[in-house]
Amino acid sequence: MNTPLIDPFNRTVNYLRVSVTDRCDFRCQYCMSENMTFLPKKELLTLEELDQLCSEFVNLGVRKLRVTGGEPLMRRGILSFFENMGRHLESGALDELTVTTNGSQLERFSQPLYAAGVRRINISLDTINEAKFADITRWGRLPQVLRGIDAAQNAGLRVKINAVALKGFNEDELIAITEWCASRDMDLTWIEVMPMGDMGEENRIDQYWPLKDLRARLGDHYTVTDLTERTGGPARYVRLEETGQKIGFITPLTHNFCESCNRVRLTCTGQLYMCLGQEGMVDLRDPLRAPQDKDTLENAIRAAIALKPKGHDFDYSRQKADGQMSRHMSHTGG
């Protein structure tokens, strides 16, 4: 048994998020510009290389693997990657294989994902109003996503909705989205908008809706009970007593959640980011491809984990987007 991955602050890293593509069929306004310049396909790691990298992380103690993008289900041949990762579920080396998606491709992928061993998915959905959905995603169509949600639930996948809290956009839908998720037995997590990518500082401040305000508004309609449950991730949870549902809050701006961080992020080009909110990264492409001894890649991963920072620097408190990252969320994978 290999020694687990422990960072400088004695946190065990057992969760890997891997972005398999930076491309997406939506252009969400808080995530990317409408006319994005994506990476040349020749720069992406092959699916076989991504398999090798992810398998090495599993060998080093990673127990949860989340596949992200861009939109991961747009990557050509991606189903073979899920099927191959399923071998780690069968062996017991991996506890969970999950995916974060915009839902656009789920109508055709839900059954194969379930067959590959996926049991839970996160779907990014910020509004259930068709016109507003088309506006915020620029290129997306809500009926297509709703059909994908139907397909996912029919396939047996547990669905969680991730909604970015956007001031002046979905404030008026707070209760409607809550009730809609409750009616379909879907979990719901709200996320504060993060300063990722050059979207214009003024727009970031205008979009920012602190979740402490969102929680207070929920309290005007429901009996809200704080839960002590922790999943090792950034979310804090409450229960709405009237509906019985669990609501998550991811608050990188109003509450720094880094003390329990157990994750790192691998990009589709082989860069390992130890923190979503820091620029520091280690390139694993060369160690992966280098014709050296079998310990080269493991040593590179361990050296990277030794650089994991204590936390991020996101901050809007001074009415400017401090801690803004130059890279877009679609590159890092969220």
* Domains along the chain with CATH numbers: 15-332 (3.20.20.70)
**More confident position, 72 or 317:** 72
Q: Which residues does 143 contact at the CB level (< 8 Å), separation at least 6?
A: 130
User: Please, which residues have CB within 8 angstroms of residue 292's CB and are 6 or more apart in sequence?
Assistant: none
**Is position 224 annotated in a ligand binding site?**
no
The pLDDT, as a whole number, for residue 323 is: 46
Per-residue model confidence (pLDDT) at position 71: 96
The answer to the question of whether 236 is labelled as a binding residue is no
30 assigned binding-site residue: yes
Q: Is the pLDDT of residue 28 over 70?
A: yes
Give burial (CB, 10 Å; 0-12/13-18/19+) of 259.
exposed
Q: Is 28 annotated as a binding residue?
A: yes
pLDDT band, very low/low/confident/very high, at 280 (cuts 50, 70, 90): confident
Q: In what order do the strands lie in the sheet with 271-273?
A: 224-226, 236-240, 246-250, 187-192, 158-165, 120-124, 96-101, 64-68, 15-19, 263-266, 271-273, 281-283
pLDDT per position as a tens digit, 48-101: 999 999 999 999 999 999 999 999 999 999 999 999 999 999 999 999 999 999
Chain mean pLDDT for the chain: 88
Distance CA 281, CA 20 (A): 17
Q: Is 268 annotated as a binding residue?
A: no
186 or 277, greater pLDDT = 186
100 annotated as belonging to a binding site for a ligand: yes
Confidence of residue 207 (pLDDT cuts 50, 70, 90): confident
Strand 271-273 relative to strand 15-19: parallel, antiparallel, unpaired?
unpaired
Query: Per the annotation, does 54 bind a ligand?
Result: no
Q: Is the pLDDT of residue 45 over 80?
A: yes
Say if residue 181 carries a ligand binding annotation: no
Cα–Cα distance between 105 and 188 in angstroms, integer? 20
Lowest mean pLDDT across 38-47, 64-73, 248-257, 301-310: 248-257
Average pLDDT for 92-111: 98
120 is in an annotated binding site: no
H or E segment and range at residue 199: none
Least confident of 88-97, 129-138, 244-253: 244-253
- pLDDT for 227 equals 94
Query: Between these two residues, 231 and 320, which has the higher pLDDT value?
Result: 231
Confidence of residue 256 (pLDDT cuts 50, 70, 90): low
**pTM value?**
0.88
Q: Which candidate, 317, 334, 309, places its Cα nearest to that of 194? A: 334
